[in-house]
Amino acid sequence: MPMITKKERFLGSMFLGAIGDAMGSGFENISKNPLDDKTFYPFGKPKFKLPEWRITDDTQLTIITCEALLKNQELKPELLSKYFIDYFSKGIIRGIGASTLKAFQELQIGMDWSQTGRRGEYAAGNGAAMRIAPLAFFDTITRNKIEEICSITHNNSEAYIGALAIIISIKTILNGNWLNNTSLLRLVADRLPSSNVRERIFELSDLENNISIIEAANKFGNNGYVVNSVPFCIFAASKIKNKHISFIFDEIIESEGDTDTNCSITGQICGAYLGIDEIPFLFKEKLEKLPEYDWLNTHVKRLAEKIL
């Protein structure tokens, strides 16, 4: 198998994350519809009828992060905040969570980014983790910078550690440390600070060879709480060595919950592992038909040229 370059892994991460978001968006927090006609699905018979694909804030905020990185790869939080305000003011971003909405409204009226992030237990959502993946491809981004970037919207240690876990997952793949006989979950948990996110990842690593994606969701949860969502996504992504991405998305959707974000984050990690060329053509073809595709394609490909 030819070596996959870092640029190819970045493109795979961004595009497969967008595909997961679009595929999962129609199922967010709703029960499945029975299959009653033939609908798009490239591999195997679907277990339920798939709705139309639709990009959500998961991908939109990730693209905005890419735009800010194009401006400056050190990505100061004040710069990213300006991009957030610009797009929020234009009414472009859809489906924003409560913590992110609060922060954007406060940024819009002139509050400093260091004061906008929601605090307390209700700030432990997955809104920072879902947009953080582009930072994993730039070595100039420190843990302190990651925490600052997260705190724009989520000033909460669990939210930060959840985002950090996504970055570590991708960097573990980029550095070639996820070998055949190693556990991605354990490799990530070993590098995280003490937290509920870390403990949940350890719990899943103890069971990873004995339970399915759906069973993991049933046992631990897969909603928008970062302690549930991020470990679940890393667990689902760890199946990519033995399971096709279409079936991973299938199981995430069947498990219900926060399906767009869970498919998006899982797609970002799996895309880093697969690279752009291993993403199914039919997935790419369907993504290209969405209104946001040109926006996504332009900025992601431009940023790929900045990756060393």
| CB neighbour class for 202 (10 Å; exposed up to 12, middle 13-18, buried from 19) | middle
Pick from 211, 207, 272, 269: nearest CA to 238: 269
What confidence score (pLDDT) does residue 52 get?
85
pTM of the model: 0.93
Residue 122's CB: how many other CB atoms inside 10 A? 13
What confidence score (pLDDT) does residue 37 get?
41
What confidence score (pLDDT) does residue 36 get?
41
Tokens of 147: 């925490």
Q: What is the pLDDT along the chain (308 residues), one digit of tens a residue?
A: 479 999 999 999 999 999 999 999 988 655 544 444 444 444 455 555 567 899 999 999 999 999 999 999 999 999 999 999 999 999 999 889 999 999 999 999 999 999 999 998 888 999 999 999 999 999 989 999 999 999 999 999 999 999 999 999 999 999 999 988 899 999 999 999 999 999 999 999 999 999 999 999 999 999 999 999 999 999 999 999 999 999 999 999 999 999 999 999 999 999 999 999 999 999 999 999 999 999 999 999 999 999 98
Cα distance between residue 147 and residue 142, in whole Å: 9
Pick from 100, 116, 33, 98: nearest CA to 65: 100
Cα distance between residue 73 and residue 163, in whole Å: 18
- Given 3.50.50.60, 3.90.950.20, 1.10.4080.10, 1.20.58.390, which CATH number is that of 6-304? 1.10.4080.10
What confidence score (pLDDT) does residue 33 get?
47
Query: What pairs with residue 125 in β-bridges?
Result: 225
Cα distance between residue 253 and residue 120, in whole Å: 29
Spell out the alpha helix ranges (H) of the chain. 6-24, 57-71, 77-89, 98-108, 113-116, 143-151, 157-174, 184-189, 196-207, 213-220, 226-237, 245-254, 259-274, 281-287, 293-304
**What are the φ and ψ backbone dihedral angles of 72, each rounded to 5 degrees?**
-160, 115
Cα distance between residue 164 and residue 177, in whole Å: 17
Domain ranges of the chain: 6-304
Distance from the Cα of residue 303 to its chain's centroid: 18
Residue 259's CB: how many other CB atoms inside 10 A? 25
What confidence score (pLDDT) does residue 47 get?
55
DSSP code of 241? G
Tokens of 252: 């995430």
What confidence score (pLDDT) does residue 34 get?
42
Cα distance between residue 139 and residue 307, in whole Å: 10
CB 126 within 8 A of CB 90: no
